[in-house]
Amino acid sequence: MASTDLTLAVSLGALEQLARPARALEDATTWTSNVGIVSSEPSYIERRRVREAGYHQEFLSGPRSIAEALTAVRGHFETERYVFVGTDETARVVETVPDWTFQLVTDAAGTADWEIETTSSTGGNWP
């Protein structure tokens, strides 16, 4: 069985791809040690979006880049593993951050049994 001694950071962009992002974060708290949100947006926008969505988190990126935030989180939380769940746009971030592993949100969703947001192809034309 995999260790739950894990710090999980999820990008806001990855959360937007989930059908039930708040539920996914709640679920993650049951199998991780620490769960937080990182973003490259200005901190006041990040905080507002997190607050309005009611997301559970133990850390936010604050006024820094995602790479800087992950480095700070690594220094603050001592766990066996560090995983960053992001999007195609954020995939290369962990290349510059020691100890972090990148997981594409669609892969993480499949593993964790989270639903990906789907958009209706019928739009407003449904009879």
User: What would the pLDDT profile of 84-125 be if each residue is shown by its tens digit?
Assistant: 999 999 999 999 999 999 999 999 999 999 999 986 444 554
Q: Is residue 125 part of a domain?
A: no
Q: What's the pLDDT score for residue 1?
A: 42
Bridge partners, 60 (sequence order): 37
What range does the domain containing 24 cover? 17-112
Q: Is residue 3 part of a domain?
A: no
**pTM tops 0.85:** yes
Q: Is residue 11 part of a domain?
A: no
E-state strands within 74-113? 81-86, 100-104
Q: What's the pLDDT score for residue 3?
A: 63
Q: Is residue 1 part of a domain?
A: no
Give the count of domains, the chain. Answer: 1
Q: Identify the helix (H) or strand (E) that includes residue 10.
A: strand 6-11
Asked if pLDDT for residue 62 goes beyond 90, the answer is: no
| Dihedral class, residue 61 (left if φ above 0, else alpha if ψ from -120 to 50, else beta) | alpha
6 compared with 124, residue with greater pLDDT: 6
Q: Which long-range contacts (CB under 8 A, 24 or more apart) does 104-110 make?
A: 105/10, 105/11, 105/14, 105/17, 105/18, 106/17, 108/14, 109/17, 109/18, 109/24
Q: Is residue 4 part of a domain?
A: no
Q: Is residue 90 part of a domain?
A: yes
Q: Is residue 97 part of a domain?
A: yes
Q: Is residue 5 part of a domain?
A: no
